[in-house]
Amino acid sequence: MGGYELLAGTKAPVRVWTDPWGIEPEAARQLRNIGALPWVDGVAVMPDVHYGMGATVGSVIAMRQALAPAAVGVDIGCGMSAVRTSLRAEDLPDDLGGLRRAIEDAIPVGFTMHDEPVNPKRVPGLDQRGWKAFWDGFDDLTAKVGQLSNRASRQLGTLGGGNHFIEVCLDTHSQVWLMLHSGSRNIGKELAERHIGVARRLPHNADLPDRDLAVFLSGTPEMAAYRHDLWWAQEYARRNRALMMALLCGVIREISPQVAFDEPISCHHNYVAEETYGGVELLVTRKGAIRAGRGDLGIIPGSMGTGSYIVRGLGNDDAYNSASHGAGRKMSRAKAKKTFSVDDLKEQTAGVECRKDPGVVDEIPGAYKDIGEVIERQSDLVEVVAHLKQVVCVKG
């Protein structure tokens, strides 16, 4: 069922991997605004598309010599990691509630953080390369975040809240997988908001249809400063997930000391990359989209009750080698809280050890699109490698 349609009324091609008439009006307006920008080469719209700040979530924006920081978003480098273990379903403890509590004890969630920064050298299984150089780079970030060093170091290896999660899953062969979703925590947000504010004040952005589409232009000091901080925040997010995964593997090792872990799969889905298409060098912003170049392994999660997919990219240049980052919301958090009850949450997450309280009703599976349909819509972008179903889900 893969293939795209063109969204009418735009200057640059806006290719849509879903029914264009099914896109919510606010999101369609955003897409047309993006497609009208003079720097845009094209836009690829994923089947999980929905309204976001400045740019739609679930879109890929390819620009010539320009970047819109609000299109990247405030959770710079947000993404997924997954690893297959040697365990099978029968190897898991009978008390999955105890397993969830052990994970929550090892990895702070929500607004909490580690009491002291985690020393990477003391975490078994964690890649030890580059940590000193990475942290030395903090001092070169925009001066206004200098006072956040302690917080940033204590939040490294923590989950956060919202739609971020840690899961223990089973594939269709009853093999146990570990999966998590998180980003650059508060430091990414602070950096993003400062640069978004700078972009809005630049004279060339004065007449844009949406002030959240303000861009930096190549060759300017503002662009150089943003790209420097952006790359660092993306690396923070990657290392955050790597540290959490190592801590999560440690929890599993307590259950089964002989467990073995495959090579982790990791992918950003809120980030910028330098890529070339048709001989043109472009800055590709994936806001709620993963890279799906030929052979690239990626992760497309559903919701806390519906499972996820491990996929392999097919390398479709029309989509700038991209695919969706998840199921995508079909209703806002506010609407979800008004629509669903805790009893609905319990029903829709039956069989999953997870929170079932008012604080996570906005994350109920019914607030998300059908992940099966989302996968079907992008059959020309990715192929399915594994279908996972969670048995434990940790939310912030």
Q: Report, as residue numbers or ranges, the catalytic residues.
A: 325
Query: SS3 of 220, please?
Result: coil
Residue type, 118: V
Q: What are phi and psi of 93, to 5 degrees?
A: -65, 155
β-strand partners of 80 = 181, 267
Distance separating alpha carbons of residues 325 and 53, to the nearest angstrom? 17
Give the three-class secondary structure for 274: strand
Interacting residues of 382 by C-beta distance below 8 A, sequence separation 6+: 292, 298, 300, 311, 312, 313, 314, 323, 375
In whole angstroms, give the CA distance from residue 290 to residue 273.
Answer: 11
Q: How far apart are CA 236 and CA 25, in angstroms?
A: 35
**Which residues make beta-bridge pairs with 81?**
180, 266
246-249-253 Cα angle (round to 5): 135
CA nearest 117: which of 143, 99, 135? 135
Q: How far apart are the first and last CA of the chain?
A: 35
Strands (E), the chain: 5-6, 14-16, 40-50, 57-63, 66-67, 79-88, 165-171, 175-182, 216-217, 265-268, 270-277, 280-287, 289-291, 297-301, 308-313, 322-324, 382-395
Residues ≥6 apart with Cβ < 8 Å to 247: 106, 107, 118, 123, 157
Q: Counting beta carbons within 10 angstroms of the beta carbon of residue 308, is it exposed (0 to 12), middle (13 to 18) or buried (19 or more)?
A: buried
DSSP at 146: G
Q: Which helix (H) or strand (E) holds 345?
A: helix 342-348
